[in-house]
Structure 1
Amino acid sequence: MSLLPLDETASPRPHPPAEAGRRTPGATAARRVLVLLPLLLLAVWAALDRRAVHDGAVRLAGADPWWLLLGLLFTYLGAVAAACVRQGAVPERLPPGPLVASQIAAGAANHVLPASIGAHAVTVRFLLRQGVPLPRATASIALYALVRAVAKAPLVVVFVLAAPAAAPPVRLLPEGRTLVLAAVGLLLAPAAAAALCLLVRPLRRPALEFVRTALTDARRLHTRPARFLPLWGGAVAAPLFQASVVASVGTALGLPMSWPQLLFAFLAASTAAGAVPAPGGIGPVDAALVFTLAGYGTPLPLATATVIGYRALTVWVPLLPGMLVLSALVQRKLL
């Protein structure tokens, strides 16, 4: 006969949970690797692109340093504008300082992976650390991308209407057959995604939850001025800040173009090449921008130097600080 009380013989008590703050050696090592990984990626990227780095430094050696400094200021103002859009895309209030820091880190990650995957991954991780549920965090990414894309096209129209002299004497739209193919592609992409979700049963429920969350949050955010004002204001300001970097570099190099022309050149080139998935838009936007600047009559070497200077101020110079900020956010468990 057991000497234990009846309530203790029914089932053994579970072991107390492990201490929340205790970290295993494997978790500590993984965190250290994550802290050093951005710096390693930076070193690999610089080694692979060393010729472009050298050419950009040589061409910019004779440029006006004050205009280049102004262009760098516009680069970091772009991170502030992106932070405004991120805040406007979620109902929860986010801490301003860490939010801006996360967008500086996201900008560095954006130049490693194509189609803004790196920036979105950093942002989703930051939102999860701030207590935002995963469905809402992913829905905010879709709203961010949609608002950024929608806000850029009207800027081009406004420039054409307000400053028609800024439009270059070249064809901005593709030929008829190319335009039809592009329109068909834009229509088939969402149709294919919807058909995939309907046919593949495991994807159906997450897709419906994502759409429901996205529509609910978008409707709720647009009833709150504290959200939709930074959402759309930041989306309009972000491409203008990027275009101002190009204008600053062009002025530093003595490009024979006015600021409205330089702003329009970037907006038109980035809008035309934005559909090509490249890391940070590197490649398609560069080629489109050189073509647009040449359409104004700019000599090709000078147009190429302007694009190299733009990349230096938006990629190479902020990359090391951005990677350091990314490592610091990981170290402080904000990512």
Structure 2
Amino acid sequence: MTSEEFLTPLRRSRLYWHTALTLVVLVAVALLARRHWPVLESGAVRLADADRGWLLLAAAAALLTWPCSALAQQGAVPRRLPPGRLLAGQFAASAANQLLPAGLGAATVNLRFLIRHGIPLGDAATALAVKGTAGGIARVALIAVLFAASPGALHLPQIGGGFVAAVSAAAAVAILLLLGPLRQRCMRALAAVRVYVGAVHARPARASALWGGSLAFVVLHCAVLTAVTRAVSLPLAPARVALLYLAASGAAALLPTPGGLGSLDAALAFALTATGAPAAAAASAVLGYRMLTVWLPLLPGLTVLIVLVRRRVL
């Protein structure tokens, strides 16, 4: 199956727009980095002198994110997948996600993996959607729990009721306009998804893997950032760090840069400094988090990706 079978003209057009927006964001981030280079430099120096014990703990949490991602992917598929290849596929997908915008890299790798293992294209795409939805719900649930446990951990800006009503009305109109001409097709697709989700949740082991892996994946990323903040002597409560990470990653998702490059870094740095953290310490925490979750695994992940492609696993 060639890439042309996956990319319809509409999808290619979206890819071009995403790529253009990515370039704009990266240029803006490069300009900001040049403007604040002394802060970044002092942050790198501070990271070099960070506590090694906390950094090792952060690295261990980062390593566990890939087994959790593999567990969630297996939970979204009724058929049993080979565990070793599945784990390698998730590692390769995380590296590919740093090369293409809007999560296209990971989605493409995972889709190819599922198809190569005998899952029809429609079911494979549904499995990815189910996994993504479970991850989103896990994030919302974690935010709700953290807010309930620590109501003062994060201060939200005041938003007027008129603004909320206007946004809600605009969203409702957009949904009606988009779904109106495609209502029957959407209804058939939703019916197929309901059948698929029912088949997954009919097996308790699959449902547990899906939701447990999705939640553990998010918690571990929060743990990585928390451990790095402790390593650079940034005294923030774990609940606050977790909420800051969830808020920043949610905001960064609105800008489709590869792996959140630039957008997540800026959002995390802004969130940390907004709590009163020194700029150098915030830069150190962001650099440490990105180093452990992106830069250090990138070359090994790309190597695994090439090996899997050559062995026709992908």
TM-score higher than 0.5: yes
Map 1:2-41 onto structure 2 (within 5 A).
none
1:302-333 Cα deviation digits (max 9, x unpaired): 11221122111111111011101111111111
TM-score (norm 2): 0.79
| 1:237 paired residue among 216, 222, 236 | 216
Distance across 2 between alignment mates of 1:173 and 1:123:
40
Q: Secondary structure at the match of 2:260?
A: coil
Structure 1 equivalent of residue 182 of structure 2: 197
Structure 2 equivalent of residue 225 of structure 1: 204
By percentage of residues, which structure has more helix? 2
Distance across 1 between alignment mates of 2:311 and 2:187:
35
Distance across 2 between alignment mates of 1:259 and 1:97:
33
Alpha-carbon spacing, 1:229–1:280, altered in 2? closer, same or farther (3 Å): same
Structure 1 equivalent of residue 83 of structure 2: 96
Structure 1 equivalent of residue 156 of structure 2: 171
Deviation at 1:60, TM superposition (A): 2.1
* Structure 2: gaps (5+ residues): 1-26, 35-39
1:94-143 Cα deviation digits (max 9, x unpaired): 11111111111110111111221110100000001110111100111111
Alpha-carbon spacing, 1:307–1:183, altered in 2? closer, same or farther (3 Å): farther
Task: Give the conservation status (yes or no) of the 8 Å contact 2:44–2:283.
Answer: no
* Structure 1: gaps (5+ residues): 1-47, 199-203
Deviation at 1:231, TM superposition (A): 0.7
Task: Give the conservation status (yes or no) of the 8 Å contact 1:152–1:271.
Answer: no
Q: Secondary structure at the match of 2:234?
A: coil
Deviation at 1:164, TM superposition (A): 3.0
Partner amino acid, structure 2, of 1:217: Y
Partner amino acid, structure 1, of 2:93: A
Q: Secondary structure at the match of 1:115?
A: helix
1:250-276 Cα deviation digits (max 9, x unpaired): 111110213232222212322344343
Distance across 1 between alignment mates of 2:175 and 2:75:
25
Structure 2 equivalent of residue 253 of structure 1: 232
Structure 1 equivalent of residue 312 of structure 2: 333
Map 1:119-130 onto structure 2 (within 5 A).
119-130=106-117
Map 1:84-163 onto structure 2 (within 5 A).
84-163=71-150
User: Is residue 293 from structure 1 mapped to residue 272 from structure 2 by the alignment?
Assistant: yes
Q: Give the percent of matched residue pairs that are identical in Structure 1 and Structure 2.
A: 39
Deviation at 1:233, TM superposition (A): 0.8
Distance across 1 between alignment mates of 2:157 and 2:249:
12
Distance across 1 between alignment mates of 2:167 and 2:266:
19
1:224-271 Cα deviation digits (max 9, x unpaired): 101110111111111111111111111111102132322222123223
Distance across 2 between alignment mates of 1:182 and 1:245:
34
TM-score (norm 1): 0.75
Task: Give the conservation status (yes or no) of the 8 Å contact 2:55–2:227.
Answer: yes
Structure 1 equivalent of residue 250 of structure 2: 271
Deviation at 1:147, TM superposition (A): 1.1
In terms of Rg, which structure is larger? Answer: 1
Q: Secondary structure at the match of 2:259?
A: coil
Task: Give the conservation status (yes or no) of the 8 Å contact 1:147–1:232.
Answer: yes
Alpha-carbon spacing, 1:179–1:279, altered in 2? closer, same or farther (3 Å): farther
Deviation at 1:222, TM superposition (A): 1.3
Alpha-carbon spacing, 1:266–1:132, altered in 2? closer, same or farther (3 Å): same
Alpha-carbon spacing, 1:124–1:184, altered in 2? closer, same or farther (3 Å): farther
1:279-316 Cα deviation digits (max 9, x unpaired): 22233333332232223221122112211221111111
Map 1:45-56 onto structure 2 (within 5 A).
55=41
Q: Which moved more, 1:316-325 or 1:302-311?
A: 302-311
1:77-99 Cα deviation digits (max 9, x unpaired): 11111111111111111111111
Distance across 1 between alignment mates of 2:132 and 2:182:
21
Deviation at 1:191, TM superposition (A): 4.0
Task: Give the conservation status (yes or no) of the 8 Å contact 2:138–2:214.
Answer: yes
Alpha-carbon spacing, 1:173–1:241, altered in 2? closer, same or farther (3 Å): farther
Q: Secondary structure at the match of 1:118?
A: helix
Distance across 1 between alignment mates of 2:162 and 2:262:
24
Task: Give the conservation status (yes or no) of the 8 Å contact 1:136–1:213.
Answer: no
